[in-house]
Structure formats: C-alpha cells, structure tokens
C-alpha cells in the first residue's frame, strides 16, 4: 500500500493517516509513516514519545548530510543521492512502522533550496518507488513535496473532506493538483460526519463515484486529541469505518 493523505487543515488527515498506519501495524506489515506536512503533527497523533519526536530533526534541516550527499556533484545538485542510511538513522520505530519527518522547504527570497529539495525528493523516490514497504504520507493541501516522478509511486491519494464549503473547495483544488501530477487514483473520504444532511451535502458537492467512504464524528477521537501523552491505539480505538478504507485501498498488499 502506497498512499498519500491530503485535504484542508484540520479535516482529519493526520488522524486518518495514523489510523491506516495502525491497521498496517496490527497486520505486522512493514511501513513508512511519512510526515510530509511542514506543520507536522502525525508523530503526536500516532502516539510517539513527544521528547523523542522533538529530538528527531526534520530531514530538510540535515544541512551537513545534505551537503555531503551532494559532495560529488560540485556546483551541480546530485539528483539521486543515496539515502538508505537516512532511513535507518533518522527514524522512530513503532512496531513494524518507521516514522520519518520531512520538514518544510523555505520558499521565496533569492536563496536556492535546490539541494534540500533534491534530497527530500530522493528520500520520497526511495520509499515510494524503490522499496517494498508500505507508505502512508501525511501531506498538507498543497501536496508540495510531490513531483511527477514521485507521484508515480502513489497508488491512491485520499482527500479528506469535512462537510463544509471551505473543506470541499480545498478538496476540489487538491484534486486538480493531483490530476496535474497525473496521480493514478484520487479518492475522497468524508470525515466528522454527524448526520444524513452531512452525507447528502458531500454527495452533492464531490464526484460521487470517487467518494470512498464517510467516517463518523467520534467523541473518543476528539477526547484523545486533548491528552498530552497520547497512548498507542488498540484495535478497539480505531475510527469506526477505517477498516473499510484500509481494505478498499488494498491493505496487506506488499507491492513495489
């Protein structure tokens, strides 16, 4: 399973990404949990140790390593540096899951962040195209880390949508970006559904044949988000309906 999760801020991307990762963990499937949202919070939602998370440097900030990896390239940027060692060293473990924090690339100004971008791209290429582990990418609505190249490695992009006008507008914008990148499959997941009216609203607002599922609003999920130290989830803590999504996007598949 190689998937990316996107959608408007607060729609539930990290919650859904974390729930899918737990499904993989319960099935003992090796997977990478990639926090690709510059405003990163997947680690906390997964229940990783907050101190260890804070101590894990984002990959975009590994200045010396990035400079070293480019040493052979001289003035040129090495577009394909070896990154296997990074996936051993700069990760946190949770069962069969390895957690990676990408970090953001600064935009604007006159400085060039080409080396950082090339490095992150090499990491994504490695996990998405070269390796057999499953991957769940938690992204922002901008899906800025993806390129035409890495997009080829994503089987399904899940766009999380709350039943609000703003979330729908963002979801349709993500759908257009994904289509520009030629992602093979984009599917919508309704989240925080409280009523039949919520369901009807999303059915009327999104391409119906691509709505994969609608997940209920859950008091338990919200309650967990208020805890300081989030515990690892048990099977019974999963969001009702997540298994259906997991099965539909081919849970278990160890595809390259």
Ligand X SMILES: Nc1ncnc2c1ncn2[C@@H]1O[C@H](COP(=O)(O)OP(=O)(O)OP(=O)(O)O)[C@@H](O)[C@H]1O
How many other CB atoms sit within 10 Å of the CB of residue 236?
A: 6
The mark string for 29-68 relative to Mg ion (x by CB under 5 A, - otherwise) is ------------x---------------------------
Going by C-alpha positions, the residue among 116, 143, 167 that lies closest to residue 3 is 143
Nearer to ligand X, 9 or 207 (CB): 9
Which strands form 97-101's sheet, in the order they lie side by side? 92-94, 97-101, 31-35, 134-138, 2-7, 156-161, 186-193, 211-216
Which listed option, ligand X, Mg ion, none, makes contact with residue 221 (CB within 5 to 8 Å by class)?
A: ligand X
217 binds ligand X, rule: CB under 6 A: yes
Question: Which residue do the tokens 């997991």 mark?
Answer: 246
14 binds Mg ion, rule: CB under 5 A: yes
Torsions phi, psi for 7 (to 5 deg): 140, 175
| One of 10, 50, 184, 253 touching ligand X (CB under 6 A) | 10
Where residue 141 falls (left for φ over 0; alpha for ψ -120 to 50; beta otherwise) is alpha
Q: Which stretch binds Mg ion (CB under 5 A): 7-15, 164-172, 195-203, 206-214?
A: 7-15
| One of 56, 239, 242, 249 touching ligand X (CB under 6 A) | 239
Which listed option, Mg ion, ligand X, none, makes contact with residue 218 (CB within 5 to 8 Å by class)?
A: ligand X
12 binds ligand X, rule: CB under 6 A: yes
| One of 48, 215, 238, 249 touching ligand X (CB under 6 A) | 215
Long-range contacts of 165-170 (CB under 8 A, 24+ apart): 166/8, 167/7, 167/8, 167/11, 168/202, 168/205, 168/206, 170/7, 170/8, 170/11, 170/141
121 binds Mg ion, rule: CB under 5 A: no
Which listed option, Mg ion, ligand X, none, makes contact with residue 96 (CB within 5 to 8 Å by class)?
A: none
14 binds ligand X, rule: CB under 6 A: yes
List the Cα angle 247/251/256 in 5-degree steps. Answer: 140
Nearer to ligand X, 45 or 127 (CB): 45
């Amino acid at each position: 399973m190689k998937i990316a999760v996107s959608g408007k801020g607060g729609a539930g991307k990290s919650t859904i990404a974390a729930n899918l990762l737990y499904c993989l963990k319960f099935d003992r499937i090796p997977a990478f949990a990639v926090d690709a949202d510059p405003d990163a919070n997947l680690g906390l939602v997964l229940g990783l140790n907050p101190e260890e998370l804070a101590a894990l440097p984002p990959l975009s900030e590994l200045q010396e390593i990035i400079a070293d990896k480019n040493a052979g390239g001289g003035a040129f940027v090495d577009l394909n540096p070896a990154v296997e060692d990074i996936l051993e060293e700069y990760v946190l473990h949770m069962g069969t899951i390895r957690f990676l924090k990408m970090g953001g690339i600064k935009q604007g100004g006159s400085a060039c962040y080409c080396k950082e971008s090339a490095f992150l791209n090499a990491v994504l290429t490695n996990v998405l195209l070269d390796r057999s582990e499953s991957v769940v990418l938690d992204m922002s609505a901008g899906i800025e880390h993806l390129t035409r190249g890495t997009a080829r490695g994503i089987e399904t992009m899940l766009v999380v949508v709350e039943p609000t006008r703003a979330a729908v507008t963002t979801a349709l914008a993500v759908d257009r970006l994904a289509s520009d990148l030629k992602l093979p499959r984009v599917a919508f997941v309704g989240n925080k559904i409280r009523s039949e009216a919520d369901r009807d609203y999303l059915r009327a607002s999104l391409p119906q044949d691509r709505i994969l599922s609608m997940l209920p609003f859950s008091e338990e999920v919200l309650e967990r988000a208020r805890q300081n130290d989030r515990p690892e989830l048990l099977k019974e803590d999963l969001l009702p309906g997540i298994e259906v999504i997991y099965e539909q996007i081919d849970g278990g598949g160890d595809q390259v």
